[in-house]
Structure 1
Amino acid sequence: MTGPLLIYDGDCAFCQRCVDLGGRLPEPVPTEPFQLLDLGTFGLTPAQARAAAWWVGADGSLRRGHRAVAAVLAAQPRRGWRTAGWLIDHPPLSWLAAGGYMLVARFRHRLPGGTAQCRVDLRTDRRASEPDFDIPQPASARPGEDPPDGVDA
């Protein structure tokens, strides 16, 4: 499956609740729990997918955490939602959004709707606990495309 797609932790009741709320947006985006996907297709690990939501763009690019939320909002037809997405994605509000997302992700098991399955130990995967980042996908790594000549898959 290619983008756009929002990947989230399907074992987390808090995450599922957030996705359900996102379904009320004017233009709901496709969502899938990472447990039902071949994460390797997107260049992700289970630890990364447990630690944060991921947006897969139509071009195969990846956005993590608050940037994934910003991409969902930016995909909306109404200017207000798109503006909110732009603000979340650009400084100085992006700094606050990143910190807020990290706090929510760390303590999601304690938030309304959260359960013990929502708990994530970010110390077990150093890469998953790094600040939010985007992963541009080179042409050879995009799902459904053959690598360029001379590149081993």
Structure 2
Amino acid sequence: MDRPTFLFDGDCAFCSSCARFIENRIKPQADVVAWQFADLDALGVTEDQVSSAVYYVAQGHPVTAGPAAIADLLRGSTLPWRLAGGVLAFRPVTALAWPVYRWVARNRHRMPGGTAACALPENHPARAS
């Protein structure tokens, strides 16, 4: 794995819209890949993990999820985004971002670009958070 990989849910229209924004506007130094098309075993993550949150996987770097993964992605980008990633990576900010992230994940079918197909199943672990 030469470049870091940022994994998102390719079955979710809202997540896919966010991934396109990341690729087109943020232009990270990472591959932005729907987890459904990634070799999860080679990346060291499970389907249960990546179906609950975005993940950032980089060689020699701890695997991160949710807001921490977004912070890592942003910190590997251009200056204005790198600054935002630095702020988000600050532990108190990351801790505050998790409840917001979980709320968005539970309501992603209601977000711009989202569809009913984006809704997490009632028994999905992310819905309980």
Q: TM-score range by the shorter chain?
A: 0.7 to 0.9
Asked if 1:72 is matched to 2:73, the reply is: yes
Aligned length: 128
Q: Tell me what 2:15 maps to.
A: 15
Give the residue type in structure 2 aligned to 1:118.
C
Which consecutive residues of structure 1, in runs of 5 or more, have no partner in the other structure?
Answer: 132-153
Amino acid at match of 1:59: G
- 1:62–1:94 distance in 2 versus 1, CA, 3 Å: same
1:63 maps onto 2:64 in alignment: yes
User: In structure 1, what is the equivalent of residue 41 of structure 2?
Assistant: 40
Q: Which has the larger radius of gyration?
A: 1
CA 1:12–1:26 in 2, change beyond 3 Å: closer, same or farther?
A: closer
Contact 2:109 2:116 in 1 (8 A): yes
Unaligned runs of 5+ in 2: none
| Matched letter for residue 67 of structure 1 | A
**TM score, norm. by length of structure 1:** 0.72
Equivalence for 1:143: none
TM alignment of 1:1-153, pairs within 5 A: 1=1, 3-23=3-23, 24-27=25-28, 29-59=30-60, 61-78=62-79, 80-121=80-121, 123-125=123-125
In structure 1, distance between residues paired with 2:127 and 2:56? 17
Length-normalised TM-score, structure 2 = 0.84
Identity %: 34
Alignment match, 1:140: none
Task: Confirm or deny: 8 A CA contact 1:51 1:122 kept in the other structure.
Answer: no
Cα separation, partners in 2 of 1:82 and 1:120, compared to 1, 3 Å: same
Say what the alpha-carbon RMSD is for the aligned residues. Answer: 2.3
Give yes or no for contact 1:2–1:60 (8 Å, CA) kept in 2.
no
Give the AA of the match of 1:48: Q
